[in-house]
Amino acid sequence: MDHLKLTADKLSIDDISELVVNDSCGAVSIFVGTTRDNFEGKKVLHLEYEAYEPMALKAMKSICDEARSKWPAVHGIAIYHRLGAVPCCEASVVIAVSSPHRRDSLEAVSYCIDTLKASVPIWKKEVYADSEPVWKENIECKRIADKNLVQINVSNEEIQKRIHHFIERKRAQVNLSNIQDFIPRRENETEDMETCARVRTQFVKRNDSKGHLKVCRVENEWGPQTVPEPQMVQKVDSTLPHSIAERVTAIESYLNTTPVSPDIYKRLKEMEDKIAYLQSISPEYAQFWKNNKSTIKQEQMPEYVVSAEDIDKKIELLELQQNLM
């Protein structure tokens, strides 16, 4: 049976070893990894462990399966790893393996700790007394690349040189693409040739950049801004007398309001609100009509005096003209 756990609690070696003890087993091999108080002459205060727990537990289970396939006689495996801060002299990892004979358990426990350090996503940070903390990489994680998988076997200087030339080549391609996309006519083209450009543009290189262009001249020959918007034709309300409907529609157009309802009273209310708004933002607007009316002189209509005899003569004249036609 496998016993796997990631915990922030202090690890008990006795409790973990009891998990794998069995009457049929004559050996229990235990590995205990503890925090030491020094590293390369620096004083270590404690270690801090972090893990991606779902993946770590899955990797630990895979280690147990591999160990059982290599040593079928193994009975119980327990792998406990501590997370968070681990002070000096305390255990950070405990692995216990039981088997009928010592060779299987000893080899299996050695395999488990080596594989755990190499493959399980658990990270360690050493906290020092007199310097900044450092995240440490396990020695077992270092791998030598397979030579058959290496595609470029050159110096770092040569790699940087190739990267530089690649960037320059791509930059030139982008510049050419920009010119082709935004300048319709090139030297070998005519105006009749099709192009995807929407404006006629002339580009020059910017002094402060190798890969960008700035617009020197743009002539918009056609576009949404140059196309006049269609004039909205307002329909005359057929429910009103034609003359009144025309006057109401004209006032709405002048005030820039639209018919909010076929109800004439609501339309009048909308116009009144707009006039009140105009008066509020422009006080002199309220005095416009008053002052305008005072300056307009009403035209004096001439007075006509017509007698009944004049009317009869006019009628006779019209009848005579009608007969002649």
Q: How many residues are given for the chain?
A: 325
The beta strand positions in the chain, using DSSP E, are: 2-7, 27-34, 38-39, 42-51, 76-82, 84-87, 91-99, 122-128, 134-136, 200-205, 213-219
3-state SS assignment for residue 202: strand
Q: Is 233 helix (H, G, I), strand (E, B) or coil?
A: coil
Q: Is 235 annotated as a binding residue?
A: no
Adjacent-strand bridge partners of 282: none
Q: Are 5 and 56 in contact (CB under 8 A)?
A: no
Residue whose tokens read 């020094």: 38
| Residue 124 marked ligand-binding | yes
Kindly report the number of other CB atoms within 10 A of residue 243's CB atom. 8
Distances (CA, A) of 151 to 143, 158, 165, 170: 17, 14, 18, 22
* Residue 102 marked in a binding site: yes
Residue type, 253: S
- Written as one letter, the residue type at 81 is H
For residue 298 the two structure tokens come to 């009403």
Element (H, E) at 274: helix 264-281
Q: Please tell me the chain's helix, strand, coil percentages from 3-state DSSP, rounded to the nearest 5.
A: 45, 20, 35
* 85 vs 146: CA distance, rounded Å: 37
Q: Any known ligand binding at 117?
A: yes
Question: 272: number of CA atoms within 13 Å, CB side?
Answer: 6
DSSP state string for 253-270: HHHT-----S-HHHHHHH
125 is in an annotated binding site: yes
Residues of the binding site for substrate: 101-102, 117, 124-126
Residues of the binding site: 101-102, 117, 124-126
